[in-house]
Structures are given as structure tokens and as C-alpha cells.
């Protein structure tokens, strides 16, 4: 028996179910709508495990599930050396989102990371602390800003409603996932021209450490 981890609720779950259905594998929640137990039809030897999308990378890395559906962003953020622990089987064509760096739209002098860096130096001198960037993607954003040579900033943790952090004065800038940019604009923010950290979409991943034969399921979804 192999285990397939799928996000346990919302649009990501429904789109995953649709994606597998188109390929002849029916996934469904068994029992009541509130119960996190699933059923698999159309292929033998596969058990459906419903999990939070954020926990799927960890479960794959630990080898407790053989296959899992989650965003590129979460795999890259949560797994150091992700390429050593998981491999992508299929990009699924939904759940598109970009991890971006955005600043207040009223910062008319800031359009690029170069500007952000210059402003960070000045901000630190003026305020006595480093310019705060709110995010939940600490590793990805830090790696990106280090590679781009941005200094004098600090990351502050924001697990939700990150776009509101500037207005609430808990941060000066943000780094977050966006699909249309509408929430960014609605919160009076603007994406930097060179502020794209990562392009993400829902992806089916295979654990490199879990035993078990994923062959039948992978052949089935690739046949269609």
C-alpha cells in the first residue's frame, strides 16, 4: 500500500480531485464532509491521506507518504536540499502563485531591489532598527535577498494577512504569495520590478526515501 497526500480542504483539494479524475483515478472524502479520511478508485494499492498543504513536504521528506500534492513554494521553503529528498512527478497546472517582494505604492522612489537596499540603509540610520519585511517564507526570501545583495533588512514572521502588515506598521515591506496581485494592490502595495522570488504551482511530488511501488499510479496518470 502506498500513501498519497492531498491538501485536506478548499480549492486546492477540489482541483486535485478533478486533476486525478481526468486521469482515471477517483479520489473522494469518505464519510461525512468533515472527516479527513479518503477513498481511492481506479487504481489498486493506494491510500488517500488528507493533510494540510503545509505539512505535505515534511511527510514526503520523512518518507511517511510516498506521493503528495503541494505547491513548489512550500517544498522549496520547508525542505533544505529539497532536490535530495523529493522529486517532482507532474506539474498540475493549477494553484499558480508567485512569491514576490512588495513595498508601499506610495514609495515612488522604490521600483527595484537596488532602491530597496538603498532605502534600507537610510531607514536603519533614521529609525535605529533594520527595515522589516513581513513574510512566512523566511528561507526563500532570505536566500533571494542574500543572492541579490540586499542588506540592512530583517524578516518578521507573518503567518497570515501579510499584506496588511505595512498598514498596521508591523513591517515596512512584505514578501508573500500572490496569484493576481489584486490583494497586493488593494492593500496599497506595489510589486518590485525584479522582486519575483519564485514561481509556484500545485505539483505532484514523490518521496525519495519512502519505500513502496508508485509505478501503477504514476503509469496510470501518465497514460492519459
Residues 204-218 as b or e (16 or more Cβ within 10 Å = b): bbbbeebeeebeebb
Q: Are strands 189-200 and 202-207 parallel, antiparallel or unpaired?
A: unpaired
Q: Which stretch binds other proteins (CB under 8 A): 3-11, 65-73, 137-145, 205-213?
A: 137-145
- Nearest Cα residue to 68 out of 199, 210, 223, 178: 210
Q: Does 125 participate in binding other proteins (rule CB under 8 A)? A: no
Query: Is the CB of residue 100 less than 8 Å from the CB of residue 140?
Result: no
Q: Does 78 participate in binding other proteins (rule CB under 8 A)? A: no
Task: Lay out the site mask for other proteins across 102-121 (x = CB under 8 A, - = otherwise).
Answer: --xxxxxx-x--x--xxx-x
Query: Cα dihedral angle (13, 197, 76, 67), rounded to 10 degrees?
Result: 30
Q: Minimum distance from CB of 151 to other proteins (Å)?
A: 6
Query: Is the CB of residue 30 less than 8 Å from the CB of residue 9?
Result: no
Which of 1, 32, 44, 81 forms a contact with other proteins (CB under 8 A)?
Answer: 81
In this complex, which beta carbon is closest to other proteins, that of residue 143 or of residue 183?
Answer: 143
Sites of contact with other proteins (CB under 8 A): 80-81, 84, 104-109, 111, 114, 117-119, 121-123, 126-127, 130, 138-139, 142-143, 145-155, 166-167, 169, 172, 188, 190
Amino acid at each position: 500500500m502506498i500513501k498519497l497526500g492531498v491538501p485536506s480542504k478548499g480549492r486546492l483539494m477540489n482541483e486535485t480531485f478533478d486533476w486525478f479524475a481526468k486521469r482515471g483515478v477517483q479520489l473522494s472524502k469518505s464519510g461525512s464532509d468533515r472527516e479527513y479520511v479518503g477513498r481511492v478508485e481506479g487504481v489498486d494499492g493506494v491510500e488517500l491521506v488528507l493533510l494540510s498543504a503545509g505539512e505535505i513536504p515534511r511527510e514526503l521528506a520523512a518518507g511517511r507518504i510516498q506521493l503528495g500534492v503541494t505547491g513548489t513554494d512550500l517544498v522549496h521553503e520547508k525542505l533544505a536540499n529539497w532536490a535530495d529528498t523529493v522529486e517532482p512527478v507532474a506539474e498540475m497546472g493549477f494553484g499558480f502563485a508567485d512569491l514576490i517582494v512588495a513595498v508601499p505604492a506610495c514609495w515612488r522612489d522604490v521600483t527595484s531591489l537596488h532602491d530597496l537596499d538603498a532605502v534600507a540603509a537610510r531607514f536603519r540610520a533614521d529609525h535605529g532598527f533594520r527595515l522589516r519585511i513581513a513574510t512566512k517564507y523566511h528561507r526563500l526570501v532570505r536566500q533571494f535577498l542574500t543572492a541579490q545583495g540586499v542588506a540592512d533588512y530583517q524578516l518578521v514572521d507573518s503567518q497570515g494577512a501579510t499584506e496588511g502588515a505595512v498598514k498596521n506598521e508591523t513591517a515596512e515591506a512584505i514578501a508573500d504569495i500572490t496569484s493576481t496581485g489584486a490583494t497586493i494592490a488593494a492593500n496599497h502595495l506595489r510589486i518590485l520590478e525584479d522582486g519575483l522570488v519564485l514561481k509556484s504551482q500545485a505539483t505532484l511530488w514523490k518521496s525519495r526515501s519512502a519505500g513502496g511501488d508508485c509505478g501503477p499510479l504514476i503509469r496510470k496518470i501518465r497514460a492519459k
